[in-house]
Amino acid sequence: METTSEKIIVLDFGSQYSQLIARRIRECHVYSRILPFSASAEAVRAEAPKGIILSGGPASVYAPNAPKCDPAIFDLGVPVLGICYGLQLTIHLLGGSIQRGAAREYGKALLSLRKKSPLFAGLPETLEVWMSHGDKVASLPESGVEVLGSSTNTEFCAVKVCGREIYGIQFHPEVAHTPRGREILANFCLKICGCSGSWTMSSFIESSVKAIREKVGDSNVILGLSGGVDSSVAAALIHKAIGRQLHCIFVDNGLLRKNEAAHVQELFGRNFNMKLISIDASERFLANLAGVADPETKRKIIGKEFVEVFDEAAKKIENAGFLAQGTTYPDVIESVSIDGNPAALIKSHHNVGGLPQKMKLKLLEPLKCLFKDEVRELGRELGLPEDVVMRQPFPGPGLAVRHLGPVTKETLEILRNADEIVLREIKKAGLYHKIW
């Protein structure tokens, strides 16, 4: 659910930092979106971006099947910034040459600026930057490229295509090891691309509420509320938009942490005045888990049973048209291969779980363009307490997969009490927000 007309597109060439680039752009209050490097120029044009960033990547531009973007990307009339591999690919596609460096350059370097440029506005003439590359630019295209900066080992460390808003940098501005890197990205987004820097959580809430109302109409929305960060924030946002049209279903599978069910009912049912259907299905889940020791088998049993319990409750809700989920942007990115190869997926789209197909409902995913830290910020803006917003992840199958051997009511109670003691001591030591 996109909520802004201004955006920067990041084309992903397989860099481990692509998500970090997108996050740094958003820290400049500019919306960003990641697309695979194979996206056509027409597909990018349809996004109406204010600018395009070509990410780094582990490949060499001369390698067989090296990832290459549509060359027409450079003719869309919007500024382009190539980072590391993105710089090398830009030079290569424009007619320059790339060669293997004498040694891989990895670590700190000093960038010496040779020409003034809006990309480095407000920055000193010498900058500490972070390098990570094996290839480097050997010669520039004949069409004309000016050198903005060099380092000791990299002559063409920062460049600009003459007469065009196409830039390239050999270093990584998105990492913390480039101390002024965020300012470089801000200069690209705000000064070169002309973004207003008005994308904030408050503006996101305003536009999301409007979009949810328009999409849902007078239908009811069903949401599985777990008490975790994503489902809690999704519930608060949707409730702000449509109020009592939202029906939250909370399933107590008997595998929750101590007092978890009571906490969820108190917060959302009473404090937020949401329509909350709370189902105690603990006996049902424990009966199905009797004698089962293998963790993966436990997961499958719990997942299947949850779908059944949830579906039974959902069928009783009249005029239901949508199933809401707390899908976040990393869920979306990591379930789409950058090169169209399903084997290259980081993970499958884990939130769906078969429910939309079984229930024949449309999906409502209001958080699917947000990173986790943004979801937490959104939760605060919506008035959720800090202990919910900053809660550590807890597995869907709950204590069952932290329980060695077959699960029983008695041994679960021992684990539940032990878990509470561990959490209490971690919080008392001030470590809860510092450890995974």
Digitized pLDDT (tens) for each residue of the chain, 436 residues in all: 555 679 999 999 988 889 999 999 999 999 999 999 999 999 999 999 999 999 998 888 888 889 999 999 999 999 999 999 999 999 989 888 888 766 566 789 899 999 999 999 999 999 999 988 677 888 888 888 999 999 888 889 999 999 999 999 999 999 999 999 999 999 999 999 999 999 999 999 999 999 999 999 999 999 999 989 999 999 999 999 999 999 999 999 999 999 999 999 998 988 788 999 999 999 999 999 999 999 999 999 999 999 999 999 999 999 999 999 999 998 888 765 555 443 344 444 444 455 655 668 999 999 999 999 999 999 999 999 998 999 888 888 899 999 999 999 999 999 999 999 999 999 999 999 888 7
Residue type at 159 in one-letter notation: V
The pTM of the full predicted model, rounded to 2 decimals, is: 0.86
Indicate which residue of 6, 174, 365, 374 is catalytic: 174
CB 158 within 8 A of CB 119: yes
* Residues listed for the chain: 436
Answer yes or no: 296 catalytic.
no
CATH 3.40.50.300 fits 201-428, yes or no: no
Of the candidates 331, 329, 336, 328, the one whose C-alpha atom is nearest the C-alpha of residue 12 is: 336
CA 66 to chain centre: 25
One of 29, 172, 239, 403 is an active-site residue; which one? 172
Is 7-192 a CATH 3.50.50.60 domain?
A: no
Residues whose CB is less than 8 angstroms from the CB of residue 342 and which lie 6 or more positions away in sequence, other chains included: none
174 flagged as catalytic: yes
Q: Is 201-428 the same fold as 7-192?
A: yes
**From the candidates 84, 157, 193, 195, which is the catalytic residue?**
84
Buried b (16+ CB within 10 A) or exposed e, 176-192: eebebbbbbbbbbbbeb
Helix H, strand E, coil C: the string for 140-180 is CCCCCEEEEEECCCCCCCEEEECCCCEEEECCCCCCCCCCC
Whether residue 84 lies in the annotated active site: yes
